[in-house]
Amino acid sequence: MSRQRVLILCTGNSARSQMAEGLLRHLAGDRFEAFSAGTKPVGLNPNAIKAMSEVGIDISRHRSKSVDEFAGQQFDYVITVCDNAKESCPFFPGGGERIHHSFEDPAAASKEQQLDAFRRVRDQISSWLSEFVRNNKA
């Protein structure tokens, strides 16, 4: 059985899409091959690494990637996790089903509240992806 390929897009590929990639691999890596990219990659946010490590998922070796790195590749699903990526990338050649679910940008929280925002968004993404996995049997 081949795994379904999923590309998760956000603007900076620094937090939400990175956490979603790690979570999808953790939740259903036997069924889905997960990748993430950004329309304007800016580097991996240390708080994303910390929030994910708290739930036993190591994304410290991830790197921010441009959506251009995936040009010409085929995907079963292209998921946008922020409104900017949805608007910037209305069509992805090689993309299968297009799904959008916007999550707040945890990096936009005040410095004092940022880690809590990352935890909250991580948990929201995890819940949403758990439902996605249940509803998309490979």
The architecture of the domain spanning 4-135 is: 3-Layer(aba) Sandwich (3.40)
**Biggest CA-to-CA distance, the chain:** 46
pTM: 0.92
**The residue to which tokens 């994910």 are assigned:** 52
- The CB density around residue 27, as the number of other CB atoms within 10 Å, is 18
Residues labelled as active-site residues: 10, 82, 89
Identify the pLDDT of residue 94. Answer: 65
The stretches of 1-138 forming alpha helices (DSSP H) are: 16-28, 46-53, 83-88, 114-135
Q: Distance between CA 50 and CA 117 in Å, rounded?
A: 12
129: amino acid identity, one letter: L
Question: What would the DSSP string read from start to end of 73-119?
Answer: ---SEEEE-SHHHHHH-S--TT--EEEE-----GGGS-TTTHHHHHH
Q: Distance between CA 34 and CA 65 in Å, rounded?
A: 13
- Per residue of the chain (138 residues), what is the pLDDT tens digit? 689 999 999 989 999 999 999 999 999 989 999 999 998 999 999 999 999 999 999 999 999 999 889 988 999 999 999 866 545 554 556 668 889 999 999 999 999 999 999 999 999 999 999 999 999 875
